[in-house]
Amino acid sequence: MAASFATISAGYLRDTYVPRIREALAQIPDERLWWRPHEGTTSIGNLLLHLEGNVRQWILSGLGGAADDRERATEFAAREGGGRDELLAALGATVDEAATLIAGFGDDVLGVQHRIQGFEVGGLEAVYHVVEHFSWHTGQITWMAKALAGEGHGLAFFDEEAVNRARNEGPAGP
């Protein structure tokens, strides 16, 4: 079960969330990456830095044993930085490395406690945290990109007609 969970989790990060972020960012110009609606919020650029830092700290360092040099507050303090290509390249590289690690983790990593970011967490919990956290911010980035692109954004991840046709028919069985 843990191996299946790890494989599915790695797939969500690498094959679902990163491509959705890429698609969302394709809707807006680079100069909008650092826009904030007001000072109490973050920009898409901040969220990209934050996601890369979170994956690096929790997976590469926390579970994988790499050095932890993350400065979380700087991810949110930035008011400018790289463009779309640079930020996506850094995020994609970190997620690719993390997905490879996650998919290869066994009970020796997933089934034991780790101290990450000051928290005592199990390996499964750490992976779950990263996937859930990534999903949350992917939604924020998508919403912001839709708002910045305007009504004609054309951003959709599902074919609504196909989803409606594929309604659940009941239990799938054993």
Distance separating alpha carbons of residues 64 and 116, to the nearest angstrom:
11
CA 80, 85, 90, 91 torsion: positive or negative? positive
> Residue type for 162, please?
A
Domains detected in the chain: 2-165 (1.20.120.450)
Task: Give the pLDDT mean for 77-89.
Answer: 93
pLDDT tens across 33-75, in order?
999 989 999 999 999 999 999 999 999 999 999 999 999 999 9
Neighbouring CB atoms inside 10 A of 15's CB total 12
Reported pTM: 0.91
The pLDDT confidence band at residue 164, using thresholds 50, 70 and 90, is confident
How sure is the predictor about 157, in pLDDT bands with cuts at 50, 70 and 90?
Answer: confident
* CA dihedral sign of residues 110, 116, 121, 127: negative
Tell me the sheet residues that pair with 113.
122
pLDDT attached to residue 173 = 60
